[in-house]
Amino acid sequence: MRRLLLAAPFAVLAAPAHAATGEAVNPWVALAYLVSGVFFILALRGLSSPATSRTGNRFGMIGMLIAVVTTLVTHFPMSAPVGETPVGIDVACVHDCVQRFDLFSMGEILIAIAIGAIIGITIARRIAMTAMPELVAAFHSLVGLAAVLVGWAAYLNPGAFGLLVPMDTIGTDYSLPMQIGAVSKIEMGLGIAIGAITFSGSVIAFLKLSGRMSGSPILLPARHVINLGVLAAIIVLTALFAMAGPSETMPLIVAMTVLAFLIGFLLIIPIGGADMPVVVSMLNSYSGWAAAAMGFTLGNTAMIITGALVGSSGAILSYIMCRAMNRSFISVIAGGFGADASAGGGEAKEQRPYKQGSAADAAFMLEQAEKVIIIPGYGMAVAQAQHALREMADLLEEKGVEVKFAIHPVAGRMPGHMNVLLAEASVDYDKVFELEDINSEFAQADVAFIIGANDVVNPAAKTDKSSPIYGMPVFDVDKAKQVFFIKRSMGGVGYAGVDNDVFYMDQTMMLLSDAKKMVEEIVKNLD
């Protein structure tokens, strides 16, 4: 939910605010925005746990409803200050357009909201849970694009957004021509730049997550130099844009926007599939900061609060995900998880002996176990095996077997992906444990049941310094008495493109099949 708080109503909240011009803000408006901010905080708190996530979603919806309604009510009718715009638009025409906006735009906004609501409801009903990561990335791109469009709208029609100030150095002689203030230009430039980076980066993330682009890192020559150069150019252009006169700003803002779109592509293309959970949370953070920057430009308290909450929560989540992989945030955004490693070739080692079992074999051994720990991964999501897995766990518990689920922070393709799938299958929350809470229990487990996971159980992360996943905390499944590993074939490898020694351990039995079909067969043998 925290990734979607900004997407639909961004343009509505981006209505001009009198606070941008220094005028007093209606105390009731400030109170309404404060209340909506409190609901957003309660939403984030609720979303921190699966048990309270539904309540958190409702709080977020209520908060956004208050913010949108307040914005619509308080910005009709509007007025625009008289003066010369920096892009040569006649002020009388601008003022006339604003007045006509009062008469006609409310209906247009309501129509736009209705269209967006219909599209959103349709997508929500039809989207498969396995496609949720790419959907989140797609929505991030919309938030970023909205920030760019709002920023350009404010630049092209600053009078309607209350951004014009006198051109004298003190800013009090209203007989002089008007221009956009330097501070507003900086805020506008930051909002456009961050929004453009969010848009283009999210497009690449969507293409990778949806399989329309290879998940492998695409490494460009001298990419770090190029990235730093483009970022430096954006900073310089933003500074020049802030200091430039009205007639000099257009080429600067165009160049800054183009470079920001470019750097978004360049930052995400080198990042491999193993880092996608971090990328999703990072883009979530970017979308929040873009909204906050535009909130400062427009003097809209609701946008500032919402953007800051989304930006900070996304940044914290990115930090948590990086810690879970034993990586620094800088190394991830520089394009590097496994990008320069020599070990990950993308193909499994050949001619290594392994033991293959059947569903009947697995069912018999599971019935004899006292403690079973299930480790789900993206393969479970692809096969949509979560419901069959929950049924298997229920049958084992009826037979007196203790069953727990172990979730790695980076399992799947977005933060919390496995938690969402297990919650959808009605797995009790108190049976689901994070890595640090359950890793010590594998030594006492009779069976470690791995379904569709790979990198998060790969012991190479602890032993092989040449491996691209070296240093990432992983589950100690090698300490369990018996390991069942469900995967489609021995030829596949994880996101990082490295083989897994767990396949070939003496206590490992490979169950080569579609995850859902294999679990359903195990369930039949357990009845």
C-alpha–C-alpha distance, residues 184 and 85, integer Å: 14
Q: Of 455, 476, 478, 499, which residue is the catalytic one?
A: 455
- What is the rounded distance in angstroms from the CA atom of residue 346 to the CA atom of residue 273? 12
404 within 8 A of 373, measured Cβ to Cβ? yes
Enclosing H/E stretch for 32: helix 27-46
| Spatial separation of the C-alpha atoms in residues 401 and 390, rounded to whole Å | 14
> Following CA atoms 343, 348, 350, 355 in sequence, which dihedral angle do they give, to the nearest 10 degrees?
130
Asked if 184 contacts 163 with a C-beta cutoff of 8 angstroms, the reply is yes
Bond preceding residue 81 cis, omega within 30 of 0 = no
Give helix then strand counts, H and E, for the chain.
18, 8
- Which has the closest alpha carbon to 238: 220, 265, 263? 263
Mind giving me the DSSP string for 272-290? Answer: -GGGHHHHHHHHHHHHHHH
How far apart are the two ends of the chain, measured CA to CA in Å?
A: 39
Contact (CB, 8 A) for 456 and 473:
no
H-run or E-run covering 316: helix 301-324
Q: Nearest CA to 33 among 309, 302, 297?
A: 302
Report the alpha-carbon angle 458-461-465, nearest 5.
Answer: 135
Other C-beta atoms closer than 10 Å to the C-beta of 220 total 12
Give the integer Cα–Cα distance in Å for 158 and 88: 11
Q: Which residue has the tokens 């006198």?
A: 166
Rounded to an integer, what distance in angstroms lies between the CA atom of residue 222 and that of residue 220?
A: 6
CB-count exposure of residue 312 (10 Å: 0-12, 13-18, 19+):
middle
C-alpha dihedral, 389 to 392 to 398 to 404, nearest 10°: -40
- Measured distance CA(247)–CA(258) in Å, rounded: 19
Residue 455 catalytic? yes
Tokens, residue 355: 């033991």
Q: Which residues are designated catalytic?
A: 455
